[in-house]
Amino acid sequence: MFQKSSVENNDTVVFFCTKPSQMPCHMLNEGEICVFLRPKNSLDNTTFLISMKKLLLTALLTATCVVADAASEPNKPSSENPTVRLPRFISSGMVLQRGDTARVWGWADANTAIKVQFAGKKFDAVADADGRWSVAIPTTAKKLTGGPYKMTINELTLDDIWVGDVWLCSGQSNMDLHCARLEDLYKDETDHDSNPAIHLVQMGRTPQVVDPQDDVVPMGFYKWESMKPENVGHWSGIGYFYAKEMYRRTGVPQGIISASMGGSDIVAWCSEEVLSANAPRHLAQRNHLRTPGYLERNAGISRAISRAYNEAYEADDPGLNEKWMSADFDDSSWETVQQYDMNIGDENGRTWRGSLWFRKEFFVPDSLVGRDSLLRLGCLIDADVCYINGEKVGETGYQYPPRKYKLRANQLKAGRNVLCIRLKTNGSREKFVKDKPYRVLFHGGSFIDLEGEYKMHRGVLMPNQPGVEGVGNGVAMSLYVNVIHPLLPYRVAGILWYQGETNAGRPQEYGQLLPPMIDDWRKSFGNVPALIFGLANHMSRHDDANYGGGWALLREAQRLSAIKLDNAALVTLADLGEWNDIHPLNKKEAARRAVLQMLRLRGDRKVIAEGPTFRSVRYEGNRAIVTFNVMPGDSLCIAPSTVQHTSQGIITTDGKLRGFKIAEANGRFHWADAEIRPADRKNGTQDVVLTSAEVSNPAKVRYGWDDDPLITLYGSTGLPVAPFEAH
């Protein structure tokens, strides 16, 4: 009945068996977990039987508990080593906030005398009964701004310390996106620019359901570093360009605290207090996951399932067994497909989950042989392994990163070459992302195009990998406890928040959580200015005027949150995105706009920091008259080509004002004709008049209301009007 797999680890053995069932997972006997999967090469059910003896399960529990405790334990001294200890992010290279009272803290044996010296002054403290100590260092003197300084704390010496402005940059992947991912646009800049007065620290990020911690986890932590080409590859692109632009404008040293995690949900960044008051349902899962032993047990099961699944993926793929990647493999019987066909690999009308193999011949002229070259394969969904002439040249484990595989000088030969892609797809209809580069690039600018037809054959059919409940970046408080909470005693100049893609399906709840979350953080940081980055445009643009979409609703929640919050502003990015990439590359312009808003919030009233903003709407007969606030020196205008930024260059428009929709009180939305009226300089306002032949008595207005909206209304300084909805 059972076929034992090749996965075997001590007493943990994984079996395949044909045992149809509708239940995804249940306990067979004590210590046996049964997970139902579809068998290879069919759509029926199959079963992984994971048999775990109590002895092994106990060992797994013990090992996992030790790892978890070690990761969450703050950097404290042990009784054998009474040395003063510091949180990981209080170290050499740190930037202290100017014009404030900076805080430095740590642990030592109880009653240990702590002596701190910095910038010619001494500060004393005594560790309390729990071993905690803290000192306050005034940084209000203007002459302190700058560096580098040294600091001694008892026997410890920290160097390369600066006094300047510190910014907390938090959110999900678009805030985290590293400079290495932006090299198509900014490689010359990131490869050459240095500045010893700009520093960044990257907080560790491991979701946990522990109590709020006093130190960050080591996983993913990068110490304070100065801006050098060899450092910035893993820096936040937003943080990098923000710090550079702010330094250019102010001359003040800059410190970036990068505290983001891709795919994270806003609830992961909220404290218990915020969630209890605004979204208490999320705390139930956290409390459930805190059941003693539950996560440790699940971790062992999850590892066993992953091993079995991955072994099956490799062992049962005929493409690997029969060497389909070989240059001389005969693919004449394979199906010929167009790479952008949304039905590639479908079987009986059902999308394929598993491996799909693609082959393509291309020819290299003698003149290009021996040159350095780069294989560019756009973006592939989901994971890939790529071969040239049978030799593996690169692989990527998930869909988002651009595929860039360097080839050896002798990798390509004159004449016929064969590209082979083993694509592991999780059931998506799209396999090759459109409007991305698919080519071999040669030093000197020549390239060979790889778009068009491919030979395709199905490999192994795989079921969904069964999931086991654990702590992910969508669990309540899971990043607050060990990323934000450890930072709260530190002093910062402001907060930059770029997150929301994950919450597009829950925009109303998002609007209920974002303002109190920011205010909750500011209970510790003080009422520092906060910036909210509105979601960039992404996905399809819709002709249907009634299309709403979660991204439009989420942007509105962000806009309203910025209005509701004191000392906050919106950074509009609805024209900087890419329809085919959730991670747009133009982080430099996004950061520039953020700097403008931050300068305004910090008192520079001369800077025009954003496009005209929605003020009100009134209805007169068949017209909707929308009034905008316009700053002195600015005015409404139709998008000049110079401000239509995309990763591919500049987009020109037809000169018409588009993107407005109007509707009657209980009616459907229709596209509106729009006319800009002259500005009322006395009141600092300007109107846009909207009409539609299909709407007699308008009562609702929307602008830029789509996942990928058409943004055509700007201020004369080149900053866009933010999408909005009004009734």
Q: What is the pLDDT of residues 165-197, one digit of tens each?
A: 999 999 999 999 999 999 999 999 999 999 999
Assess contact for 517 and 190: CB atoms under 8 A: no
Query: Token digits for 258?
Result: 């990068």
Top-confidence residue, 457 or 38: 457
Task: Give the largest Cα separation in the chain, rounded.
Answer: 85
**Is residue 647's pLDDT more than 50?**
no
Do 600 and 681 have their domain in common? no
User: Is the pLDDT at 42 greater than 80, yes or no?
Assistant: no
Annotate 190-211 with DSSP letters as a single string. Answer: HTT--EEEEEEEE-------SS
What gap in Å lies between CA 185 and CA 188, rounded to an integer? 8
The residue out of 281, 311, 341 marking a domain boundary is 311
Residue 178 in domain: yes
Cβ burial of 711 (10 Å; 0-12, 13-18, 19+) is buried
Q: Rounded to 5 degrees, what are φ and ψ at 286?
A: -60, -45
Domain assignment present for residue 455? The answer is yes
Residues with Cβ within 8 Å of residue 716, at least 6 apart in sequence? 634, 635, 636, 637
Task: Indicate the pLDDT class of residue 640, thresholds 50, 70 and 90.
Answer: low
The 10 Å Cβ neighbour count of residue 469 is 15
Res 70: pLDDT: 35
Say yes or no: 642 and 598 in one domain: no
> Looking at the predicted structure, is the pLDDT value of residue 635 above 50?
yes
Average pLDDT over residues 563-573: 99
Do 483 and 530 lie in one domain? The reply is yes
CATH code assigned at 582: 3.40.50.1110
Same domain, residue pair 503 and 431: no
Lowest average pLDDT, out of 16-20, 421-425, 549-553, 594-598, goes to: 16-20
Same structural domain for residues 454 and 324? Answer: yes
pLDDT > 80? residue 39: no
Portion of the chain with pLDDT greater than 90, in percent? 85
Question: Which pLDDT does position 653 carry in this prediction?
Answer: 58
pTM: 0.89
What would the pLDDT profile of 362-415 be if each residue is shown by its tens digit? 999 999 999 999 999 999 999 999 999 999 999 999 999 999 999 998 899 999
> Is the separation of the CB atoms in 160 and 93 below 8 Å?
yes
The two three-digit tokens of residue 712, written as one number: 């055509």
- The pLDDT of residue 9: 38
Determine the average pLDDT of the residues in 433-440.
97
pLDDT (mean) for 49-77:
37
Residue linked to tokens 């006319």: 675
- Whether 200 contacts 527, CB under 8 Å: no
For residues 604 and 691, membership in a common domain is answered with no
Between CA 412 and CA 371 the distance in angstroms is 9
* Pair 667, 627 in one domain: yes
Domain presence at residue 549: no
Region 422-443 average pLDDT: 96
Lowest pLDDT segment from 81-90, 136-145, 466-475, 670-679: 81-90
* 589 and 673 assigned to the same domain: no
User: Does residue 336 sit within a domain?
Assistant: yes
- Number of structural domains the chain divides into: 4
Q: Are 215 and 233 contained in the same domain? A: yes
Residue 651 predicted with pLDDT over 70 = no
Q: Is the peptide bond before 280 cis (omega within 30 degrees of 0)?
A: no
Residue 383: inside a domain, yes or no? Answer: yes
Q: Answer yes or no: is 702 within a domain.
A: yes
pLDDT single digits (tens) 341-370:
999 999 998 999 999 999 999 999 999 999
The CATH number covering residue 408 comes to 2.60.120.260
Handedness of CA 155, 160, 163, 168 (dihedral sign): negative
Is the residue at 531 inside a domain? yes
Under the banding of pLDDT at 50, 70 and 90, the label for residue 55 is: very low
More confident residue, 23 or 593: 593
Mean pLDDT of the chain: 89
Q: How far is CA 525 from CA 148, 237, 510, in A?
A: 24, 24, 22
The Cα-based distances of 127 to 76, 131, 200, 631 in angstroms read: 12, 5, 29, 53
Burial class (CB in 10 A: 0-12, 13-18, 19+), 709: buried
Residue 151 has pLDDT above 80, yes or no: yes
- Same domain? 710 vs 585: no
Beta strands (DSSP E) in 534-691 are: 568-571, 613-620, 623-629, 636-638, 645-646, 649-650, 660-663, 670-671, 673-676, 685-691
- One-letter amino acid for residue 423 of the chain: L
> Residue 70 is encoded by which pair of tokens?
């070690």
Indicate if the pLDDT at residue 648 is higher than 80: no
Of 579, 610, 641, the residue at which a domain comes to its end is 610
CA atoms within 13 A on the CB side of 591: 26
Domain interval for residue 323: 316-461
Q: Is residue 129 part of a domain?
A: no
Q: Could you tell me if 340 and 455 lie in one domain?
A: yes
Distance CA 338, CA 336 (A): 7
601 with 678, same domain: the answer is no
Please say whether the beta carbons of 624 and 690 come within 8 A.
yes
Alpha carbon distance 636, 611 (integer Å): 8
Instruction: Tell whether the model's pLDDT for residue 37 goes beyond 60.
Output: no
Q: Which of 610, 642, 666 is the last residue of a domain?
A: 610
Q: Nearest-CA neighbor of 290 among 278, 308, 272?
A: 272
Instruction: Provide, rounded to the nearest whole percent, the portion of the chain with pLDDT above 70.
Output: 87
Does residue 237 carry a pLDDT above 50? yes
